[in-house]
């Protein structure tokens, strides 16, 4: 596998975490994979990841503070071999836009096909810890199988 795109709704919580986690593990494993993230919407275009995502990533040795939100674009159809959606709605949206080879992150890491919930709507920080753990498990499994 040469390229992976992680996708959530706004590209400020879940997909930047997956991007950062995957890039860290790819470096550690010596994998030459292009990894990026995007959102199915452009609501947060150009914004940094949300404060809680930056915080939980930093607590786990991952720096995502330099990432900026971007919406998916037609070029992504050509550029990425594997598209990983954070939940079923993201997957459905991607398929309706013509993307192929779209998988759910929850199909990896023993997560039983679960949606990775959008922590943007959680109250407080505790939901971000659970989301980080889910993403970490799924990403490790994806990269191990590449």
Show pLDDT as tens, one digit a residue, over the chain (146 residues).
699 999 999 999 999 999 999 999 999 999 999 999 999 999 899 899 999 999 999 999 999 999 999 999 999 999 999 999 999 999 999 999 999 889 999 999 999 999 999 886 666 667 889 999 999 999 999 998 86
User: Which architecture characterizes domain 3-144 according to CATH?
Assistant: 3-Layer(aba) Sandwich (3.40)
Beta partners for residue 37, in sequence order: 6
Whether the pTM exceeds 0.75: the reply is: yes
Residue 49: burial class (beta carbons within 10 Å; 0-12, 13-18, 19+): buried
Q: How far is CA 70 from CA 12, 46, 102, 106, 127, in A?
A: 9, 6, 18, 22, 23
Please identify every residue annotated as catalytic.
8, 14, 118
Give the start-to-end residue ranges of the domains of the chain: 3-144
Query: What pLDDT is recorded for position 88?
Result: 97
Residue listed under structure tokens 């191990």: 144
Q: CA–CA separation, 98 vs 35, rounded Å? A: 20
């Amino acid at each position: 596998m040469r390229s992976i795109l992680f996708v959530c709704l706004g590209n400020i919580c879940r997909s930047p975490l997956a991007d950062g986690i995957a890039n860290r593990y790819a470096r550690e494993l010596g994998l030459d994979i292009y990894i990026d993230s995007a959102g199915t919407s452009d609501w947060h275009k150009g914004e940094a990841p949300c404060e809680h995502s930056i915080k939980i990533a930093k607590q786990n040795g991952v720096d995502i503070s330099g990432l900026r939100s971007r919406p998916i674009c037609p070029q992504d159809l050509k550029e990425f071999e594997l598209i990983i959606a954070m939940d079923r709605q993201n997957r459905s949206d991607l398929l309706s836009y013509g993307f192929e080879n779209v998988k759910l992150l929850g199909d990896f890491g023993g997560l039983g096909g679960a949606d990775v919930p959008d922590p943007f709507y959680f109250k407080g920080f505790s939901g971000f810890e659970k989301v980080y753990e889910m993403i970490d498990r799924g990403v490790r499994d994806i990269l191990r199988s590449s």
